[in-house]
């Protein structure tokens, strides 16, 4: 049981229900959390990626897409306390440490969308290398370097322009 001083902080879109919610209350809560999650997911990783992920999901895999949208994006990314850039740094560090390169690439893009600079992304990866091992840091750096190069190319920047404005 929680102490009286420990109050859960819910984002404004979270619906607090009675002890025994009705099926309609549960459905409304899931719909609200999903809507907030899909909006956050699109804002961070881009609408094209989200639409592609949902379109490519099979009947078997759609429940994991729903869970990712509700739990990760709707319940965690929308919480107060950490801004999106900090959450991006945390995700990059964990994904790098776990050697989850495709997801790391996605979250490097998300970090840039959330205002992270190349220097900040590099610092996250250097810290991963020291605390999680050089192979993790090296692989993460390769992934980030590739993604950042793609972003520069998409934005019409040359390699020598990559640090302007940082």
Residue labelled with tokens 């996250």: 124
Residue 10 lies in a domain: no
Q: How confident is the model at residue 166 (pLDDT cuts 50, 70, 90)?
A: very low
Residues 141 and 109 reside in one and the same domain:
yes
Residues 34 and 46 reside in one and the same domain:
yes
Residues, the chain, total?
166
Residues 114 and 142 reside in one and the same domain:
yes
pLDDT at 72 over 90: yes
Cα distance between residue 85 and residue 116, in whole Å: 6
Residues 93 and 56 reside in one and the same domain:
no
Q: How confident is the model at residue 117 (pLDDT cuts 50, 70, 90)?
A: very high
Residues 112 and 155 reside in one and the same domain:
yes
- The count of structural domains within the chain is 2
Give the range of the structural domain holding residue 93, as residue numbers without chain letter. 83-161
Residues 87 and 75 reside in one and the same domain:
no
In whole numbers, what is the pLDDT of the chain averaged over residues?
90
């Amino acid at each position: 049981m929680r102490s009286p001083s420990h109050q859960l902080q819910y984002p404004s879109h979270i619906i607090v229900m009675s002890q025994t919610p009705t099926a309609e209350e549960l459905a409304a809560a899931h719909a609200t959390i999903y809507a907030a999650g899909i909006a956050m997911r699109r804002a961070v990783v881009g609408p094209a990626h989200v639409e592609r992920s949902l379109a490519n999901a099979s009947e078997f895999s759609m429940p994991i897409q729903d869970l990712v949208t509700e739990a990760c994006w709707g319940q965690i990314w929308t919480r107060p306390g950490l801004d999106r850039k900090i959450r991006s740094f945390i995700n990059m560090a964990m994904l790098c440490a776990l050697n989850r390169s495709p997801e790391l690439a996605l979250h490097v893009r998300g970090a840039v969308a959330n205002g992270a600079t190349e220097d900040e992304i590099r610092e996250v990866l250097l810290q991963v290398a020291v605390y999680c091992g050089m192979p993790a840091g090296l692989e993460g750096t390769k992934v980030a370097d590739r993604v950042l190069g793609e972003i520069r190319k998409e934005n019409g920047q040359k390699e020598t322009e990559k640090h302007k404005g940082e």
